[in-house]
Each structure stands twice: as structure tokens, then as C-alpha cells.
Structure 1
Amino acid sequence: MDKTGDLYQSYLSILHDELVPAMGCTEPISIAYGAAKAREVLGELPIQSNIEVSGNIIKNVKSVTVPNTNGLKGIEASLAAGVVAGKAAAKLEVLSQVTAAEKTAIADYLSSYPIEVTLAGNEKIFYISILLHGCHSKVRLVIEDYHTNITLIEKDGEVVYQSQSNGNNPYDRNDRTLLNVQDIVEFSSIVDISAVEGIILWQIALNTTISQEGLTGDWGASIGKVLLKEYGGHITNLAKAAAAAGSDARMNGCELPVVIVSGSGNQGMTASLPVIEYAKELRSSDEELIRALVVSNLVTIHQKTGIGRLSAFCGVVSAGCGAGAGIAFLHGGDYESIAHTIVNSLAMISGMVCDGAKSSCAAKIAEAVDAGILGFKMSKNGKQFVDGDGLVSKDVDNTISNIGRMASVGMKETDKEILKIMVGGLSS
């Protein structure tokens, strides 16, 4: 790969686009961001709000705690937090500067002003439409396809801002379909460390900090702590516990930020924390860890490209597989070893469904990381699943494509049934 070529620059840009900080689960934060921006345009506190969202937004906001709200959950709380205290300029850290007084004001707003939630009547996977009514004006704002992609702002019926939605493509800059495993391994091996160390070191610092909070505090079901108590300090368990603990804290309202991958903090922690633990065990150099995390992040993004931002397919499966690839790289694995690790991992755990963001995500993360590590250990021992074993095809990228098709096309009806079970009473 030519370091001066377009492909190299595209891979760099993809990493910089994807690895960004966020505080709180990204779907409620997206609502808060949209609400904060809409209120900014409105110029006054709205006295009534209407929000129309796609099913996957409902699923991922319903049960997760919104940070800096004193434990509030749900779509209404997300919107109220953005309206009352959000700082739109901070984007996915929109609720990072909420004061104690504003936390009380959020609860007061919820009890004083009506917020109506409806299911969107379109086929969009990721869709948020917010309508704020003030005493003098009204503002409508639409977010589509990914968390900060505002496509429309109207004030009193006049268009203030409009952009072209990306349709089914959830990405705004580089074409992620150019990603492939062989190029990912080559890029990770040759990339100038100075070009990536800033974002990777940021990922290490933020994600490690929230993981430690999950292991020391009392968050959710404490999956990370349970893993350590019951299964001890073997490196495989440490890797699982570290990632799970970050989710324990994040899904239950911890106000610490994380660096996300593919629009997800859970995926960002799953792709990074197990690799960080293995680097400690192996006494890897800083450069070796950074390069391994480039592998893990890009493999995760590659898998998610065919699946989309939101799906009935649990995204941490992709990230656990990415972590396995990063761990293989840390052990000196070449393209073949990493490809076998990915295929093995996907063959094991690609049936895990997403039933929304909540405490049990931490347990799913532990299972995904376990599959990633087992996939690596199989490869290390010369064992692999082969073409014809279920969804496995010849060539790792074909297998990844198969999983993407199954998740994005085959699981559409599964997604609908999950939503009906979770929130059956909500109508479009």
C-alpha cells in the first residue's frame, strides 16, 4: 500500500471519522443532540414537543440510563435533557456539561410540558424527527442514517438548513466498502504511528478509565466484577471482564466518555479493551498496541459496513471479532492467521440479537470477546471453519459479506418482532 496513495489516506480518514468521543449510549445522546440544536434554533424553551423515531431508536433508548439526568431513562428524558441542558456544539458529548441545577430542571421540565413519542411511518433504520413548539415559533429537525447527521431544520415552515440524506449508506465521507482484511493488515503494519497515535491513545485512556469505574463501582448487573470473582485472573477472563465492566458503567448512566467505533460506545470498548489487556500480558510496546488497535477498529468497521449502524444483529459480535483480530496481530499473526480468526469467530456467534441498549449488553460483550479469543486460539492451533460450514465462504471478506447480508436483509423481520415484544403498544 502506497502511503501517498488515495487508499492509505482513505483508511486514515475512516479511523479519524469513526473514533470520536461520546458520553452515554449514542442513541439517546443523538436525540439529546437533535433536541439541543432544535431548541437553539427555536430560541426559547418549548412548551410542547413531538418526536418521531424509527423502531431501532426506540429499542436502543427504552431501557438505557441517560447520563447527567439523575438516572432518568427513555426517549422523553433524552429529549428533555437536550432541550433544557444540552450543548449542541459538543455533539455526542452534548450532555457532558450539565449542572446540578440543570439536572433538577430536566425532571421539572418532564413533569410540566408534554412530549409525544410516535413510531416513524417510513422504512428508515435510523430516523429522528423532532418538532418543538414555542410560544412564538416552532422548529422541526430531522436526523437520519447516523447519530449527528442533521438533514433538515425548518423554522415556522421555512427551511433553515437542508442536506442530502445518504440513503442506506450510514457514512458521510469515505466509502467503507473499500475496506478488506488484507489491506487492513497491511495498513496497520505500515501506517505512520504519528498519524494515528492521537486518536488511539485517546481510545486507550478514555475506555480504560470507564472500565476501571465499572470494576470498582456498583453499576448495573456488574458483569465485569462477577467474571473476575467467579473465573479469576487468567488473561482470557481479564479481557472479557475489562470490556464488560465498561458497558456495566456506560449502560447505567456513568458520566465518563468513551471513544466509539461504528457509532457505538459498546463496540468501541469491545474492540479496544481486550486488546489492551492482552498487550499488558504480553508486555507489548506502545507501538505494537497502537497497531493492533488499528487492526481491531478497522476489522470492526469493515464488518459493520454491510450491516449498518442499527440492526437486529448485535453489534458487539463484530467488535468481539475485531478484538480477536487485534489480539492475533499482537501475537505476530499475519494476514492468514487474522483472516482465520475472523472467520472462526463469526462462525460461532453470529446469531446473537440486539434487543436494545441496557445492562445485559455487558454480558453479550463478554460472550463476543470470548468468541473472538477462541477464534484466535483455533487459528493458533491450525484449526479453522471452512467454506460450506454454514455462513462461512471461501475468503474472509466473502464470509463478512454473508454475515452483513444475513444481518441487514435476513433479520429485518426479526427486528420488527423484537420491537413488537419490547414496545408493543407504540403505534405509527
Structure 2
Amino acid sequence: MDNNNLEKVLKILEEELIPAEGCTEPIAIAYAASKLRSVLGNIPEKIDIYLSGNIVKNVKSVKIPNSNGMVGIEASVAMGTILGECERELMVIAHVDTTRLPEVKEYLNSDKIHVHLNDGDVKLYIRIEGTYGNDSAMVEIQYYHTNITRIFKNGVELKGCLCDDCSCDSVMTDREFLSVELIYNLAKTIDLSLIEPTFKKVIDYNTAIANEGLTNYYGLSIGKLMKEGIEEGFYGNDLRNNMASFASAGSDARMNGCSLPVMTTSGSGNQGMTCSLPVIKFCELKNLPYEQLIRGLFFSHMTTIHIKSNIGRLSAYCGAICASAGVAGAISFLSGLSIEQIGYAIETTLGTMSGVICDGAKSSCATKIASGVSAALDGYYAASKNRKFEFGEGIIGRNVESTIKNVGTLGQVGMKITDEVILDIMIKNK
């Protein structure tokens, strides 16, 4: 690999693998609210917040960390406004004084926060406006969770886009050059000192929240239930069930208000946990050395980023399935399969699981992760026997890159109406 591509890969890892406490959509709202308070210089007397449908979908049902179980858009705004520290970005409410929660609830119940659905085409969109006395302020976020594109105070622009295009593509490193083959070659040869510190955080953060989910009950607690089922003999004590249990337990905890941080991937903690925790458990059960674990995590995360970049930040396509395909490729890589077989494993996972919808962040994310990890194991084992789906079977392309492109078309175009229908159901659900 030339040095230019290596530098771009390292930059992508820096952009995509970042810590966050709590589901990234409510946390992005809390971040915007905290920034609004900072710009305004006071706690707003009135707030109007305008959100894309995908933000609404991912905030509606997930619990906010450090909030004593609060849920929803208004609660996210109130937490960020009263307790948030905007300089911490996605850790904005990670170190709050919980004795001040009564202030948050009082603000929440004061009818000062008004929520509106934004009509634009941007999937990840937050605009928050507030007033205090004669002062007014506005903060806008687009395309990814900390990408502040505009700030106004009293009608004066303090920050604006530096170009006509404020999109994710214009502010983040280009991903068009990525391919499974490039990731495979780099995973084998990259100097570990360049990536080990990042993936050490991935291991530490994501393992901690997975163990928390295996220890205590959160929501449905599918990860803990699977662990208990293994111990009771209901499930087999095998790779599949241990990997699925470990990965889903992290999501159980995170979706239900656990205050432990995770390392996210492509803007999602669930994706970050899905593409790391099964690989960590695989290496543990296979007694693979630490160096291989780091290389496997690199492969899994970069493949997930590659697949998800074709779909976009938020979609009706479940991002955990992209990460499950990353896992299928990573464990195939760690098992010494050829680049062709690794492609088979990724394609089989995508061909099997690409119908899974995203209907918001909530407890069922964990069960979808468990299913995705199981499919990843099937894809890996079938590939090890040189079995694969054939070109033209559904969304399967001529090779793994063609299939990834097809998945991108499915997620961006094919599921556009699905996304709208899901949101309509969630808003009208009684």
C-alpha cells in the first residue's frame, strides 16, 4: 500500500472510532443543546428543535445514560441544556452531577422545549434554536453527530460552512478507495504501533460494557439470557452462542441506560460493539495472540466502515448487519482463509441478513446483533468449505465489491420508502 492510502486509512480510523456514552442520536441532541446554552450564555427560556426523521426514530425509545431512566427527545435536550459539557462532544453527559437531575426534570416539565420534524433530505439533521431575554441563538448539526455546520447568535453567523457542500463527504476523508482486498493486505502488514492504542481502547471500553450486560439485567437482556442458557444447557457452549451472547450483552446495557462508554464505529455504538466484541470472544476462545486480535479488529472495523459508507450514516438498513459482515470477514481472516473465501463469508452474511430493518435504537438492537453474529459464523464456516451464494442470487453481485455496492443501493434507494413508513408507524403507534 502506498503511504497516501495508509495515511487516509489512519485518518478514517481517527474519524470513525470515537468514544461515546449513550446512544449517539440522543447524545448528539444533548451535545447540540449544550452548545446552544454555551453560545447563548444562559439556560434558554424557550427551545425549538428541528430533527430529521431518522434522528427522531433513534431517540424515541432508547434510555439516556445518567438520567435515571429518562427517554426521548425532550429529555435529551434537557439533559444537555442543564448538565451537558459541550467540549466533551459525544461524552457530553458522561460526568454529570446526578444530584442535579431534579433541575433537569423541572426544565423538562416546564413546556419550554418544542420538537419539530424537519422536512429536508438530510438523514442526520439537528437544528436547535433558543432564546433568553432579548438574545437568541441557533446551532445546526448535519451528516454526522458532531458536525456543527452553522452557529448564529442574535442573527449574526458565528460559524458557517466553508463551502457550498457541508456534507459528510466534504468534511471527512474520502472512502471511495477502500476495498476488501486493500483492507486484507493492510491487516496483514500494518505496523501495529500505528493502530494498537486505538484498538486497546476498543477492547477495554467495549468489553467492560459487555461484561456489565452479562452481569445485570438491562431491557430484554438477550445477552445475559443466552449466557444463562449456556450454563443451563439450553444453548450449546460453542463459538456461535458465546460470541452472540457477548456482543448482544453490550447492546442490552447501552440501549437501556448504562453509563459506561463504548467505542463507536461509523457513528454507532451498536456497530462499534458488533464489529469488535465477537472478534474479541473468537480470539479468546481460539487462544489467538494479542497481535492477531488487533489485526482482526482492524479488519472488522475497516470492513464495516467500507460497507456502511455505501449506505450512509442513518438508514432503514440495520447497521449491525454491516458490522456482522465485518465480523464474518475478520474471523475468516484470522482463520487463514484466502481473500476469495473472505469475500464469500462477507457476501453470505450480507445476502442472508440484508432485510433486517432499523426501526430505531432500543432493546431489539441486541437481538438483531445476536442474529447477525450467528449469520457471520455461518458465512465463515460455509466459506471455509468453499461454499457461497452465486452471482445473481438476489442482491449477490459478481464479487464482494459488487455485492457491497448493491447493499448500498438497497440501503439508500430501496429502503427510502421503508424508512418513511417505519417513522410513520412509530409516530402514530398507539
TM class by shorter chain equals over 0.9
| Distance in 2 of aligned mates of 1:200 and 1:232 | 30
Corresponding residue number in structure 2 for 1:61? 59
One of 228, 233, 237 as aligned partner of 1:233: 237
| Distance in 2 of aligned mates of 1:168 and 1:125 | 11
AA of the residue aligned to 2:396: V
The farther-off stretch of 248-257 and 319-328 is: 319-328
Corresponding residue number in structure 1 for 2:99? 101
| Distance in 2 of aligned mates of 1:332 and 1:374 | 16
8 Å Cα contact 2:149-2:166 kept in structure 1: no
- Secondary structure at the aligned position of 1:138 is classed as strand
| Distance in 2 of aligned mates of 1:118 and 1:170 | 27
Q: Can you give the 5+ residue segments of structure 1 that lack an aligned partner in the other structure?
A: none
| Distance in 2 of aligned mates of 1:142 and 1:233 | 49
| Distance in 1 of aligned mates of 2:73 and 2:411 | 25
Q: CA deviation at 1:171?
A: 6.7
Q: CA deviation at 1:8?
A: 1.3
| Distance in 2 of aligned mates of 1:260 and 1:145 | 16
Q: CA deviation at 1:178?
A: 1.2
Q: CA deviation at 1:258?
A: 0.1
Instruction: Spell out, residue by residue over 1:142-185, the C-alpha distance to the aligned partner (whole angstroms, 9 max, x if none).
Output: 00000000000001111011124755545733101211000000
- Secondary structure at the aligned position of 1:178 is classed as coil
Corresponding residue number in structure 1 for 2:427? 423
The answer to whether the aligner puts 1:334 opposite 2:338 as a matched pair is yes
| Distance in 1 of aligned mates of 2:73 and 2:379 | 38
Corresponding residue number in structure 2 for 1:30? 28
The farther-off stretch of 150-159 and 222-231 is: 222-231
- Secondary structure at the aligned position of 1:34 is classed as helix
8 Å Cα contact 2:142-2:167 kept in structure 1: no
TM norm structure 2: 0.96
- Secondary structure at the aligned position of 1:128 is classed as strand
Instruction: Spell out, residue by residue over 1:38-79, the C-alpha distance to the aligned partner (whole angstroms, 9 max, x if none).
Output: 100100111111000000000000000011111111110111
The farther-off stretch of 7-16 and 409-418 is: 7-16
Q: CA deviation at 1:400?
A: 0.2
The farther-off stretch of 334-343 and 266-275 is: 334-343
One of 273, 285, 289 as aligned partner of 2:289: 285
One of 261, 267, 272 as aligned partner of 2:271: 267
AA of the residue aligned to 1:78: S
Q: CA deviation at 1:123?
A: 1.3
Q: Can you give the 5+ residue segments of structure 2 that lack an aligned partner in the other structure?
A: 230-234
Q: CA deviation at 1:224?
A: 0.2
Identical positions, percent: 44
Instruction: Spell out, residue by residue over 1:116-164, the C-alpha distance to the aligned partner (whole angstroms, 9 max, x if none).
Output: 1010021111110000111231111100000000000001111011124
| Distance in 2 of aligned mates of 1:398 and 1:109 | 51
Corresponding residue number in structure 2 for 1:184? 183
AA of the residue aligned to 2:228: K
Corresponding residue number in structure 2 for 1:72? 70
Instruction: Spell out, residue by residue over 1:370-407, the C-alpha distance to the aligned partner (whole angstroms, 9 max, x if none).
Output: 11111001001110011111100111011000000011
8 Å Cα contact 2:349-2:379 kept in structure 1: yes
One of 13, 16, 22 as aligned partner of 2:14: 16
Q: CA deviation at 1:282?
A: 1.2
The answer to whether the aligner puts 1:149 opposite 2:147 as a matched pair is yes
Instruction: Spell out, residue by residue over 1:228-271, the C-alpha distance to the aligned partner (whole angstroms, 9 max, x if none).
Output: 23314212101001110000000000000000000000000000
Runs (4+) of structure 1 moved beyond 4 Å? Answer: 164-168
| Distance in 2 of aligned mates of 1:285 and 1:143 | 42
The answer to whether the aligner puts 1:296 opposite 2:300 as a matched pair is yes
The 5 Å alignment of 1:391-410 reads 391-410=395-414
| Distance in 2 of aligned mates of 1:306 and 1:173 | 14
Corresponding residue number in structure 2 for 1:378? 382
8 Å Cα contact 2:217-2:224 kept in structure 1: no
Corresponding residue number in structure 1 for 2:247? 243
| Distance in 2 of aligned mates of 1:357 and 1:417 | 16
| Distance in 2 of aligned mates of 1:400 and 1:167 | 26
The answer to whether the aligner puts 1:305 opposite 2:295 as a matched pair is no
8 Å Cα contact 2:60-2:71 kept in structure 1: yes
8 Å Cα contact 1:214-1:248 kept in structure 2: yes
Corresponding residue number in structure 1 for 2:207? 208
The 5 Å alignment of 1:126-165 reads 126-163=124-161, 164=163
TM norm structure 1: 0.97
Q: CA deviation at 1:101?
A: 2.0
Instruction: Spell out, residue by residue over 1:213-237, the C-alpha distance to the aligned partner (whole angstroms, 9 max, x if none).
Output: 0000111100001222331421210
Instruction: Quote the RMSD (CA, aligned, Å).
Output: 1.2
| Distance in 1 of aligned mates of 2:393 and 2:285 | 33
Corresponding residue number in structure 2 for 1:411? 415
Shift of the 165–255 alpha-carbon distance from structure 1 to 2, 3 Å rule, reads farther
- Secondary structure at the aligned position of 1:238 is classed as helix
8 Å Cα contact 1:316-1:364 kept in structure 2: yes
8 Å Cα contact 1:170-1:308 kept in structure 2: no
8 Å Cα contact 1:188-1:294 kept in structure 2: yes
Q: CA deviation at 1:102?
A: 2.3
AA of the residue aligned to 1:356: G
Q: CA deviation at 1:334?
A: 2.8
- Secondary structure at the aligned position of 2:141 is classed as strand
- Secondary structure at the aligned position of 2:316 is classed as coil
Corresponding residue number in structure 1 for 2:5? 7
AA of the residue aligned to 1:265: G
